[in-house]
Structure 1
Amino acid sequence: MAEVLLSGIQKRFGAVPVIHGLDLHIHDGEFVALVGPSGCGKSTLLRMIAGLEAVSHGRIRIGARDVTDLDPKDRDIAMVFQNYALYPHMTVAANMGFSLEHRGRPKAEIAERVRWAADILGLAQLLDRHPRQLSGGQRQRVAMGRAIVRDPQVFLFDEPLSNLDAKLRIVMRGEIKGLHQRLKTTTVYVTHDQVEAMTMADRIVVLNAGRVEQVGSPLELFDRPANQFVAGFIGSPAMNFVPGRCTPRGFEAADALLPMPADAFAAHAGRDAVCGIRPEHFEFCDPGQGVAAQVQVVEPLGSETQLGLRLGAAQVVALFHERLAIAPGDVLHLRPKTGAVHLFDPATGMRIDAA
């Protein structure tokens, strides 16, 4: 295990900058997820840590060593790809032990390490099979087994679950998290799925256009997003954004008035802002205590109900953890839950804190 330190990392493809002077400290034994939209640079950053992409500027340290100019094989890392990258002509055991065999390790040691990894991952009964005889989840476990037999200082995962169906992704999320809790190996995990990041990571790094927008624990990013980009990216369904103005009576948005605690944003009265409310942070209220919202779409989700609403001139989504007998066209009276409103500057997108 080892810490990973990125200092002033830049990456250019020709004259096009992709990563812009990025600094990041990943602690020993930590599970860090890199998230962001497609093209934000997260996979490129992971490949630079792995040594598969050259660094244009800056330094990378793994443990006590500067690995910026080292080949991938000399960095003591193991990488798991989204396409598994298994050798089709080799058995599961041969795939898992290939890297150790390539390094000239004794056969007895290779067999012992393969059995150890297979027991951890539930592959002991599959060691004689070939990849074509395995399900997608089993292939991904083999790819993980090939990584852990090496006992590296750092695991690197590049969207390893993107090729699996929704149900299997949930299962594999738990397996990867359980593996990290057992081995305590420093892990860097790239995903475009913020739910994966929220459920698995100790800390999340939110990237946008090659820059870090915010770094923090899943709950820190959920409860106190630094800006509108992070607020909209973290959380599912996504946060609602309603432009308007802070007033002593509440948040005024076109022809709707969202009630807020009188002293919450008193210092910002008269200021234009964007109000952010998560779908699960609406609550029902009496007509005189909230705002009227007309139901546009009803989505029953079993134990939950998701509603598409017209709130004044804005379209919003509300999520209630109960079954509701509501139909399109119904008018509801809602208000944000106390302490659940976020305000952002409309020009910069940065968070506006309460006075």
Structure 2
Amino acid sequence: MKKNMNKTTKNNFITYGMVIAIFVVVQILSSTGNLSRLLTGLLVPICVYIIASLSLNLVVGYSGELSLGHAGFMCVGAYSSALFSHVTSDVLPSVPRLILALLVGAAVAAVFGVLIGIPVLRLRGDYLAIVTLAFGEIIKNLINILYVGVDDKGLHVATSAANLKLDPGGKQIIKGALGVSGTATLYKDIKDYFFLIGVILVLVVLFIIQNLVNSRSGRAITSTRDNRIAAESIGINVTKNKLLAFTISAAIAGVAGVLYAHNLSMLKVSIFDYNMSITILVYVILGGMGNLRGSILATIVLYALPELLRGFSTYRMLIYAIVMITMMLFNWAPAARDFRSRIIEKIKGHVKEKEAA
């Protein structure tokens, strides 16, 4: 038991160390002027997508369910936190306001996760994917017609700007299809620290997911993925454990939405579409389902690559496609997996020989 525990802890620290090492390398490149403005602008969005892919990996990789609604959870987290930030902008300083905005976004996304999860997680396979996809589209269309403003009387909610009926001096925050503007300017004094905040959030998310997966509840979640009938036969509440994973995943996706919203000067609901959910799913699958380190690396490579290859013009997407196919074969082809296993065994053998000597 102690050996297994040590091995698990060691793997966790390797993952944390990898994230910290990437952060340190980026900081060194930035301080020496070797990081272009293009790459600098990609740093926070990469953190956003890493958090989103980790959250989806909890559902797809560990719970064994196919969800296509993560863009919807990011959307509700983004809009609820942006609304909170605007309402409290004159009351709270930037740092506590951002912390509370993260908690608000996570809580609202978790509530939606519970509301969607209770009826949906009784479904399986394609049915679950269809319902979660529908949820993402419904949320997008509802927010598209939502207008929210604030004045001395409090919040006003309507389906058109004319029906808000704000008092003189009132402020319109959510403007339907035009979205929310000016959220990033509320945090201009800490804007330079957003990448650091993103890395800290990645580490916190890793800590939550790794501890959940290695807990009793986590083992119950993975057992329902491996064999639902066997899990039910030994008394595991399948729906309850799947709902737990789904809710935590939704909350983490909400956190990704918060970071995304507060990094943009203009937030529009059209961003959180079907393509975003599919993009996050691609990162999870190519990185390896149930492989957190793989999700991080796949997100970094696949998000940054199209931007880095802009100079190749016509051949940009061809190179991108080749990289995606190569990653898929490396992660899932039986020959590649056998090759990786042999390499790992050889490395372990050399380490044992050195220790024995």
If the TM-score is normalised by the length of the shorter chain, which range does it land in?
under 0.3
Q: Which has the larger radius of gyration?
A: 1
TM-score normalised by length of structure 1: 0.24
Q: What is the TM-score normalised by the length of structure 2?
A: 0.24
Higher relative contact order (CA 8 A, sep 6+): 2
Higher strand fraction (1 or 2): 1
